């Protein structure tokens, strides 16, 4: 029998492209201690840590062995989780399992990235899954260098998401101007979030449209930054949660589904069987399962805000639909009407989201953390102007196929 | 935590390289079959006995029904663009691939616009990623009909398949 579990404290670091004032261990502990302080929990009361960042990023293979001392982990249970871009989402869900299972009463989930420590962001070991062996194997069969330049340099400059965006534009009828709108909104919202990276008060669609085209349909202004930063949440069982927090953010439902690899090449240079990479079946499956667990029948009506994983603006639209918040192909129309603004009917990424702040390993945990802040009423300047009963947090990564969906609420729901 | 930060207020840069050396990989024979097909200007796909999908280039397992795709099917050299992206004109000093500048090495002409595309070849159920050549970037669209552009004398290499061009 699973126990009710809630988030009772949140902590973040300021995000920027270079946190030279701290090393990795100092940066991560900053987030942990901020979260413990927010929860009014002493480091002694923590039973378990669930930690994570992108595999190999910053040039460090086993960061948990370095930073363990700094966060007070010795003598405690420690698990590190790395699931690509979804890492933070899996770390947050891992802390839930730790407490819901009855194994521990208080767990801290902490996730981070410190890109700037390594000149090369870690892509050699971190981003290439089967890719490295695959690449050299294909190279031994005379891989065309021009093709390689096109797919790995031109395409990857804007990430695998650029193809997704093109598919979505085609089937939904939205245009590049809608991507400008999402990016401008992300920077405006980020300006209200003191921890965010790319802050631009009053940023307009026109401001973004003036930025250089990286690869059509993505402009420079559409693309997320690489941020240094960390985020942490304190997760507790029901009795302690009720004692410590005036308004805990309860875990109501969660799920994580994957789909087959749906972009570029599969293993051994093979083709891929997903004809539309913006289909994102894993997200739809995760959302369906998480809502079912949360007792949410109509997410359009019952979800008050969403933190969507959107390093690229097209993804806010694609995934908001997959999360059941808008009908197929209509999220851009809601955007046009201002429904997704901070004060709109369905605010998307009131924090500015990944598009404004991207410490990769941390970003999906930040989505959960931001939903918790909105429920707890602690989002300060970017708090949405109405009571948040239910919020949904999303994570995307692992090339294109791993998804986490977490539903939080102002009551445990059972 | 304050005391450590005060002692060392900034990180310092340390120069170094990280050589990952050689690599062991269980390469599949499928790619060998595929390039043998290319030598004869044939596109080979694998057929899934579970869902009937044909995937080009061939793969071992069907991603959705997890069946072994042990049958082969030759698909058409003609296909349809399902997705494209367009680079800005590429100039010297703008791109680096494997440490080299593709304009400097002559892979891409100064000012060339590169158009990576996904193509669904007739008779297949997959996207094959390649590049669109000999095309006006303004005319490219989803649904555009294309055919394989072969090198003059195919060698049985992946590069035999230069890209696709408009029909
Ligand atoms: Zn199948």
Spatial separation of the C-alpha atoms in residues A162 and A176, rounded to whole Å: 12
Average pLDDT over residues A375-402: 92
Q: How many domains does chain B have?
A: 1
Spatial separation of the C-alpha atoms in residues A347 and B58, rounded to whole Å: 44
Q: What is the structure's pLDDT at A188?
A: 98
Query: What distance in Å separates residue B1's CA from the closest CA in chain A?
Result: 7
Shortest CB distance from B159 goes to which of A140, A143, A269?
A: A143
Strands (E), chain B: 43-47, 54-55, 71-75, 78-84, 115-121, 128-132, 145-150, 161-166
Q: Domain for residue A325, yes or no?
A: yes
Q: Look up the CATH number of the domain holding residue A314.
A: 3.40.47.10
> pLDDT digits over B113-146, tens only?
999 999 999 999 999 889 999 999 999 999 999 9
Is the Cβ pair A145, B107 closer than 8 Å? yes
Chain B neighbours among A 51-70 (CB < 8 Å)?
59, 70
Query: What distance in Å separates residue B72's CA from the closest CA in chain A?
Result: 13
Residue A79: pLDDT band by 50, 70, 90 thresholds? Answer: very high
Is the Cβ pair B28, A267 closer than 8 Å? yes
Say whether residue B3 is in contact with chain A using an 8 A CB cutoff: no
CA B144-A328-B130 angle, 5° bins: 30
All residues at 6 or more sequence positions from A348 whose CB lies less than 8 Å from its CB, including other chains: A305, A306, A307, A308, A316, A320, A325, A340
Residue A128: pLDDT band by 50, 70, 90 thresholds? Answer: low
Q: What is the structure's pLDDT at A210?
A: 98
**Residue A375: enclosing H or E segment and its boundaries?**
helix A360-376
Interface test with A, best of B7, B36, B158, B160 (most A CBs within 10 A): B158
User: Does the pLDDT value for residue A287 go beyond 90?
Assistant: yes
Query: What is the torsional sign of CA A344, A348, A352, A356?
Result: negative
Give CA torsion, residues A225, A365, A350, A317, to 10 deg. 70
Say whether residue B114 is in contact with chain A using an 8 A CB cutoff: yes
User: Does the pLDDT value for residue A400 go beyond 80?
Assistant: no
Q: Domain for residue A51, yes or no?
A: yes
Q: How many domains does chain A have?
A: 1
Q: What is the structure's pLDDT at A152?
A: 66
Residues of A in contact with B85 (CB under 8 A): 154-155, 158, 162-163, 166, 215-217
Q: Whole domain around residue A240: which residue ranges?
A: 5-119+225-409
Q: What is the structure's pLDDT at A140?
A: 81
User: Does the pLDDT value for residue A130 go beyond 80?
Assistant: no
CB atoms within 10 A of CB A188: 21
Asked if residue A188 lies in contact with residue A202, where contact means CB atoms within 8 angstroms, the answer is yes
How many Cβ contacts (< 8 angstroms) between chains A and B?
185
Say whether residue B108 is in contact with chain A using an 8 A CB cutoff: yes
> pLDDT digits over B145-159, tens only?
999 999 999 999 999
Query: What is the torsional sign of CA A15, A318, A320, A89?
Result: negative
Q: How far is CA A371 from CA A164, A290, A338, in A?
A: 26, 15, 20
A40 against B98, higher pLDDT: A40
Spatial separation of the C-alpha atoms in residues B90 and A319, rounded to whole Å: 32
Spatial separation of the C-alpha atoms in residues A187 and A409, rounded to whole Å: 26
CB atoms within 10 A of CB A129: 14
Strand, helix or coil at A376?
helix
Spatial separation of the C-alpha atoms in residues A6 and B96, rounded to whole Å: 47
Q: Domain for residue A73, yes or no?
A: yes
Q: Domain for residue A218, yes or no?
A: no
Q: Domain for residue A201, yes or no?
A: no
Q: Domain for residue A211, yes or no?
A: no
Q: Whole domain around residue B100: which residue ranges?
A: 4-166
Q: Domain for residue A349, yes or no?
A: yes
Residue B72, φ and ψ in degrees, nearest 5: -115, 150
Asked if residue B16 lies in contact with residue A41, where contact means CB atoms within 8 angstroms, the answer is no
Query: What distance in Å separates residue B50's CA from the closest CA in chain A?
Result: 13
CA B59 – ligand 1 centroid, Å: 11
Average pLDDT, chain A: 91
């Amino acid at each position: 029998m699973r126990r009710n579990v809630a988030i009772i404290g949140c902590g973040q670091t300021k995000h920027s492209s270079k946190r030279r004032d701290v090393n990795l261990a100092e940066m991560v502990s900053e987030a942990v201690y901020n979260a413990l302080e927010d929860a009014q929990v002493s480091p002694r009361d923590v039973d378990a840590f669930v930690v994570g960042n992108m595999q190999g990023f910053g040039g460090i293979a086993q960061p948990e062995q370095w930073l363990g001392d700094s966060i007070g982990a010795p003598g405690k249970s420690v698990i590190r989780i790395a699931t690509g871009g979804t890492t933070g989402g899996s770390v947050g869900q891992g802390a839930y399992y730790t407490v819901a299972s009855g194994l521990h009463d208080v767990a801290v989930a902490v996730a981070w990235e410190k890109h700037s420590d390594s000149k090369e962001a870690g892509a050699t070991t971190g981003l290439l899954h089967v890719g490295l062996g695959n690449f050299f194997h294909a190279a031994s069969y005379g891989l065309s260098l021009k093709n390689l330049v096109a797919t790995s340099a031109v395409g990857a400059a804007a990430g695998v998401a650029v193809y997704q965006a093109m598919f979505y534009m085609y089937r939904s009828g939205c245009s590049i101007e809608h991507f400008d709108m999402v990016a401008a909104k992300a920077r405006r919202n980020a300006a209200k979030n003191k921890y965010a990276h790319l802050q631009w008060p009053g940023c307009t669609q026109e401001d973004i449209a003036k930025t250089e085209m990286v690869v059509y349909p993505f402009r420079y202004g559409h693309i997320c930054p690489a941020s240094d930063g960390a985020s942490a949440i304190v997760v507790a069982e029901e009795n302690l949660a009720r004692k410590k927090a005036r308004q805990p953010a309860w875990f109501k439902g969660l799920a994580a589904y994957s789909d087959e690899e749906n972009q570029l090449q599969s293993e051994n240079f093979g083709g891929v069987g997903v004809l539309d990479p913006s289909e994102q079946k894993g997200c739809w499956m995760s959302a369906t399962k998480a809502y079912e667990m949360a007792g949410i029948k109509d997410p359009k009506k019952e979800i008050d805000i969403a933190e969507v994983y959107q390093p690229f603006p097209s993804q806010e639209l694609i995934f908001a639909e997959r999360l059941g918040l808008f009908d197929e192909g209509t999220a851009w129309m809601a955007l046009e009407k201002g429904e997704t603004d901070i004060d709109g009917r369905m605010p998307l990424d009131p924090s500015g989201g990944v598009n404004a702040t991207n410490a990769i390993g941390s970003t999906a945990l930040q989505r959960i953390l931001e939903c918790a802040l909105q429920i707890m009423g602690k989002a300060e300047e970017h708090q949405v102007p109405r009571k948040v009963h239910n919020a949904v947090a999303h994570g995307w990564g692992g090339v294109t196929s791993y998804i986490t969906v977490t539903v939080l609420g102002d009551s445990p729901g059972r | 935590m304050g005391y450590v930060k005060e002692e060392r207020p900034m990180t310092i840069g340390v120069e170094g390289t990280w050589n990952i050396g050689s690599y062991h990989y269980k390469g599949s024979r499928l790619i060998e079959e595929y390039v043998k097909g290319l030598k004869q200007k044939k596109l080979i796909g694998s057929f899934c006995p579970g869902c009937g999908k044909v995937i080009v280039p061939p793969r071992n397992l069907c991603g959705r029904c997890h069946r072994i795709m042990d049958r082969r099917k030759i698909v058409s050299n003609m296909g349809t663009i399902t997705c494209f992206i367009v680079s800005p004109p590429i100039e010297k000093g703008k791109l680096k691939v494997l440490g080299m500048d593709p304009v400097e090495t002559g892979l891409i002409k100064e000012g060339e616009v590169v158009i990576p595309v996904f193509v669904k070849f007739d008779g297949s159920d997959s996207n094959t990623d390649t590049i669109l050549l000999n095309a006006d970037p303004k005319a490219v669209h989803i649904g555009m009909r294309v055919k394989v552009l072969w090198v003059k004398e195919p060698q049985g290499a992946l590069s035999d398949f230069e890209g696709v061009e408009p029909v």
